[in-house]
Structures are given as C-alpha cells and as structure tokens.
Chain A
C-alpha cells in the first residue's frame, strides 16, 4: 500500500497559482475600490494588496502542511497584539504614533484576513463560497456608498466579483476533485480552465453587447445619468476632455439628470450694443445646431446636411497665431440681410478646449490671438471672432427686462419688427420643410394640439413664440408655477416612452434641453421653422467692464433659434429660470484688457535653436507684418533673438527648451522697433525683411500641435481612458484568440522545424535522425502513431503497406546508424539522403490536403507524441 502523502506539491502549486493569485487580483481591485471611500486607508491599495497576499500565500502554504488552525492562529493574533502594544509604547510623537499604529492595524487586519483565506483555500472546502459571499457583500456596501449609480459603475463593480465567484468555486472544486497522481495534472486543469474562461467570457461578452441598451434603460430607471463620463457632470451639455478641458457635446440626450459645476470655462468680450446706445447687448454663444430628433434614442442630433448650413466651426488650435480663417459663405447661408452688422468677440479660454470655437451666430472669422503675459497663467488660449449679428438678436427674452428702459424699448421694437412677418412663403420650400419637420406619431400629435391650444390667440409667429414662452411661465389653478426647472427631472416609467410628452403633459420639470426640445416641436407643429442651438448662455453681470462676460460650466445651455425671413435666425430661449439655484458667482478678477497687437508674426519650421545664446533660426513660410499677411512662396530663413520670448502651447506655458528643430511654431514680436518701420503698399515680404533689424526680437512663440505629436500623444491618452468592460473583454478575447491560434498552429510549426532539419542537415547521421523524427511526427499527426509496435514493424506493417513507401528500408538504415558500431555503406547513405522528399510526397498523395489540415489542427496528437507514456 502506498502511504498517502500529507501534502502534494502539485496541489499546493495549483492552489497558489489558480486560487491565490486570482484572489490577490480581486482583492487588489476591491481594495482599490474601498480606498476611494475610506480616507483612513490613505489610498495605498497596492501596499495593502501586498499585505493581503503575504497573508494569503503564507496561510495557504502553511496550512497545507496540516497544522492545526486554532493552535497556530491564536499565537499569531497574540504576537500581532504584542507588536501593536510595543508600537504604541515606543513611538511617542502623537501623530506618528497614530499613523504607525493605524498602519499596523491595517497591516494586521489584512494579513489576518489573508491567513484565514489561505487556510480556507488549503483546508476548508466551502471556503470559496464564503469568500464569494463576503466579497459580494463588500461590493454591495461600496456600491451603496456610491452617490451616483450608473450601469457602467454597476457592471464594473459587480462583473469582476461575479466572474471571480464563478471562477473560484469552479477552480477550487476542480483542484479538490483532481487526482493529483493522475498523469497530466497540469494539462488537465489547464484544459478545463481554458474551456471555462472561453465559455464564460463569451457569455459575458454576448450578454453585455446584446443587453447594453437595456442596461442603459435600467440605469435611467435608477435615476442616475447615462453618459460615459467619469466626471460627475455627466449629463451636462459640456463634456470633459481627456486633458481636463471642456467642450460642448455632440449629442444632446433627454435623460433623467443634468448636473453641472461652476467652474469658469471662458470669458469673452463682445462688441455688441443696442442700437444707438452704450448699453451692451449680450448674445448667446453658439456651438452647434441641432436640427433632427431621433425618436428611438430620444436625442436631438446635429446634421451636417441641413439646408443652408451656416455653421462656422474652425479649430482655433490649428490656426497659427494672428493668422485668420474666414468662411464668408456662411454669411449668404445665414439668410439675414435686414438689420445686420458685423460684431467682434474675443474669447479667452480657461477650461474650454483649445480646439473649440464658440461665438454668437453667425460667426465667419476666427483669429487666434496672443494673451498678455500677465494673464497667461489664467487663460490658456484666446481667439478673436467676427460675427454677422442681427440687431434684433439678444439674450433678453426670458429674463424679465422690467425696469430697464433700454431693454423694454428693444423688446418692443423687436416684436414690432417681427410682427410684420406672418408667413414663409418667400422661402425655399425645401428649407422650410426641413426645419418644420416633425416625426409622426401619437405623442407628436398631442404636441401639435397643445401648440394650437397655447397659441390660439396669437396671430403672428412672434406672438406665438411669446405665447409658448408665456405658457412655460404660466401658473396652474393653485397659483403654483406650471413648469419647474430642475436638473433631475426623472424619467417616465417606461424607458422608451416619449420624454417630451412626459415633460410637457405630466412631469413638467426639466432643464434647458427639455424646454428647448419641447419648444422646437411646439414651433414646428405651428409651421415655424426652428432649430435647437447649443452653446453658452450669456449673462450680463458686469457693471465695471462693459461688454465682458464670464461663462461658467452651468451656463452651458440649449435654446431655440427661429428663422424669420429677411432677419435670419434669431435666438429665443424658453427655459424658465432656475429659482432654486443661486446664480454663478459674480465675475471675479479683471479681464485681460490690454490687448497687444503684434507687429511681426512669422509662421514656419524651426531650423535650429540655441537655448544658451537664445537664438533661433526659422524657415518662415507665412508672415504678418503690420496686419498685412504675406505668403512666402520661397521659405526664408530668419534669425531671431528669443531671449525675451515666452513659449506657449495650447496647454499652457512651457520652457524654451521644449522647442526643437523641425517644430512648427509661430513667432510674434511686439517690439516697438517695428512700430515706425511702416510697410509700403508695394512692399513684398523680402522687401520688409530687408528693412527690419536682425536678429528679430521675439516676444512670444507658440508651438503648434503637430500631427506627429498628436500621434505620440494618442497611446498615452488611450492608457488614461477609463476601461470599459467591453474593452477588457475584447483584449481578453484577442489574447485567448491568439493563444488558440498558436495552439492550432503549433503542430504545423513543429513539423516545419523537423522537416527543415531533415532536409537541410548535411551530416548523414543527424539527417537520418531528423528524417526519422520528422516522418514519425508527420505520421503521428496524420493519425498513424507508432503506439506499441516497434519502429521497424511499424514502418513495415503500417506505413509501407498504407503509403507504398520505403520507410522500413530507411528505418533499418537509421537504426543501424543509431546503434551499430559499423560505418554506413554508400548505398545506405544514399537511402538516407534521398528518403525524405519522396516519402513526404507519397504520404501526401494518400491523404488529401483538407484532411491533412484538419489532422494538423489536432493538438492532442502533438501532446501525445511528446508525452512519455505512463504505466
């Protein structure tokens, strides 16, 4: 009888590898999660994981040697207790004592948990189940601490733990039930686990990809918000970019909640005043137009094919400083001719992404400008924009202008002017049809009847608009406001129910997107061409700096624009003020009023830079001198003195050493020297360059974000991107896929190796060996394994009879070369030299190509080939 060993290294290593390591991984994940909620942990989840794994591995190995649990565990507790006592006594400084003992308690706690877990894996059959239950409990506690539950968060919180639960129970049972003496222990476990992993990841993957829409619906039910942003303002109209800047979002969903914080996004100076007054007329800053409504996702969408697309959306970060981008076609497309004028705005970005362009409609000109040194810390970048604005446009529509005579006058003149318009017959029917389109359906019919009800007393379109506004402001029979502004309106009971009708008829609370969306359909129902515009709401709070406006995150807004023939698109905002929310803080700081104008601007590539002597050589392709732009057909080398220059990127100021040869930069000079050297009308670029002193003193250098740099940035940005489950699953599946591919290809690769050796070796004995090995492997893979017959008998009885080859003759010679002390005779050597190609061809002739492929895919045969048989 064999005496049963107390412990088996195989079992222990299987437990360590397959149970403990996954447990450590999931523990790290949980600890990382927990660290986000408990400050006492100091966010050292990595260290804590090490504590835990220390305990776990110790426990697992130790208790596999059949030590009693209580008799060893209690002394350990005692030792830890004593050590903690010593720590408390020896460290006198109060704070460090607290810190040290807190650290030690964390260590002891995790270590003990680890030890218990190790003991459980080693000895206690039902431990994995207990572990799963407790992990799920921990995760539930963590999730309950989460203020905002989204499907994403729920999936991220529970999927790993659930997956681990299945895994650990399955694997622990597998290891327990395995006969450790059975040959191929590792192979068997590996096989089972691979199967398990593939199966479960496929199931998970399918589940998540098929039901992702349902998940999203459920998460709306939870009252959370829908979007992917990690940031809390997930349903705001802005989105946070990877680099921390803010942009407007490209879609506008109607969902349960809308939150926004109050960070400063940008400030702007707008040169727009009420006609014939000094009183500034604020205008909404438009980012994009939403003209379509997707009934399926209940989302308003942009449409680049909208008729008379007057959207001007340049990327200011792509335009070199002081150079301009103009699109005059939008002026024609804006269709407004009456009471139009050109206004200018200067936008100084704080959080706003350097790529974004925002301006009152209808912008047609963009020119990045430099920021005075004093303000460079505060503002990242700036641009100047020119717009073709209507005299009739204004931010004042909702906000009661009562008391301000100028505003009241303006409102009256505006309404009077617009009342003259009663139809759109003069307009292109295509255009009108597009902007008055409403989807079909019961809910939209109810919107139509509501629109008619509201506007039954209004004769002209503008009166109808006012009526709609008044409807939103109206009070119910109890004297309470009919509509309320709220960031969290909730959603209808059915996930796919029409949210607009829910808003209009039942809930009557919502944020700007609801008001704008509802207004859009009310207007369109009345045949008034309209669209939703997004951007920023402009609030005039400044008394000191007239024309300067501050824009905070909660000013991200949506409103409607209505088309009036002759006047073009005008802004109308029907969103009622948020009575509960206090206004954004009053404008702080001073605006960067001192705007310098650069006398000399050069754009081109850096040829060389010497940071010691502060000299730079540039190959200039474009330049501006005294507001005159020159395109240099023949790039000119220019020497520059950069000793005073500040260097900027879109992301902020950088040291001079950032500049390297080959970079695309724009150099500016505000130097007074140039003030008096006025260019003549006929001067060419070279004439000017000849006139001005050299080296040219440069005050500011702006580095353009080149494509190459962006590509380098990409991988980093990707790494920072929060992992989505699908992402992980894809990676997982592709890893599994590549492993499987290698497994499938392995037999063929091995064969090719042997075959190569067999055909390329020149030494006869080695050639004989590889010829034999290759042939045997080939035959084995094709299903002709030697099994229990001897080499010669196999060659003679099986191979030669089946394939009509001369394998036995070869084997005879091979065995002679292997075991004999005699030299091979020339004819025997000839057999070896000529053997392989003919043999392979003979076998191939007998077995079809497709059969060979299917047989070569069989990894089992390869394993059997290399496996030493067991008794």
Chain B
C-alpha cells in the first residue's frame, strides 16, 4: 500500500553528465525494460545468472553517478514487499529446514530470494532511468517509441501538475494545522477528505483553464510533434549490449 513518496517529479532527476545520462531516452527505456524482463523470466535457482545481473546493475548505478546513499534511499520503495518476502519461509509449506531451532520452508526460502532479487533488480533499473533522464526527455522517448500521443500527452500533463497539486495540498494542510487541526482517529478525517474534494474541484478547474490557454495558443486537439533527432543505430547497438549480455548469461545458465 505504498504511494506516499515524499519526493515528487522534479526531485527525481540527478543532474550529471555520465555515460548513462547521455544515452538517448528511447534507447534507455528499451534497454531498461529488456533487462527487467530477462531478470523476471530467469528461473530462481540460477544463482550465478542473478549474481551477474546484480553486479552489472550495480556497475550501471556506479557509472551513472547517482550516489550510493541516494540510490539506497530510493530503493526503500520495495520495503513492504521485502517484509512480505521474509514472512514466506515461516508460513510456507513443503520440506522444512532447521535453522537455529526454527523450521523454515526450503521452498519458501527460494521464493523469498526470488522476490527479493527480482524486485531489487527491477527497482534499480527504474531508479537509474528516472535519475539520469529529465522527465521531458523521457516523454520524447515515449513518443519516439510510438506510445499513443494521447497517452503521452496525459502523462506529460500529469507530471507537469503533480508538483503544483502537491504544493497546493501542502498549503491546505498548513492552514489546517494553523487552525489547530490534529487528527488521530478515523472519525476525525472529515476536514482532510473535504480538502481533498476541494483539491479535485480546483484541479478540474485548473484543467479547464489550461485547456482554454491551450486553445488561445492555437491548440487543435493534437499535441505538436516533439521533434528531436533520433538515436543512431550505433547507439542502439552499444547500449543493447547490456541486456544482450544478461540474455546470454540466462541462455548459458538454462541450457
């Protein structure tokens, strides 16, 4: 049940000029997806393959220059599921292994490892992607990958207004606290929920104003094409080496 992030869109990007930063967004998106897919389909018993993936992913993190602390702090998103994973060996069925007097399910331990390593790998890739690619470039990348324009347009409006709405929410919060609001129980929730309702009305009206402003600037129902040079074949080949190596390791391990 996560969703409370604390960090919003503008704070995701870590400015820099590393090799990872310089990769074209569409190439980076495809490479990230490919690595995560290869990781997800790898059988959990292939420990060697997973070690290669983890070492490679950590090398990418190091190359990107995000900084270890920042990386680990963002990795905490997966904590709720790590907690769930740690429960599995205790509740799981099947063959039991006796560790210091506690019976742990062997299958459960494998399942725990499976969730931990795949979740961490996937989250690492998302973190690298969002930390090294400015959001606007990411949207260009999505367009060039032929994601429907309408969808990209909705996503771009969402990203544009998240910070505005979060700040507005913060202001509403502060003024409520200033008036002595300090809820502890569910039945004291009404003022917060009402302010969320007010936020929706304000957001909707903001959407209407934005639309009118767009019409005034000649918007005709289609977002203007975002022109930018495409990634070269050489860049595609150079970057796709990474998922290709992961795939090769998987093939070697399985065959």
A binds B: no
- Interface set of B (CB-CB < 8 Å, partner A): none
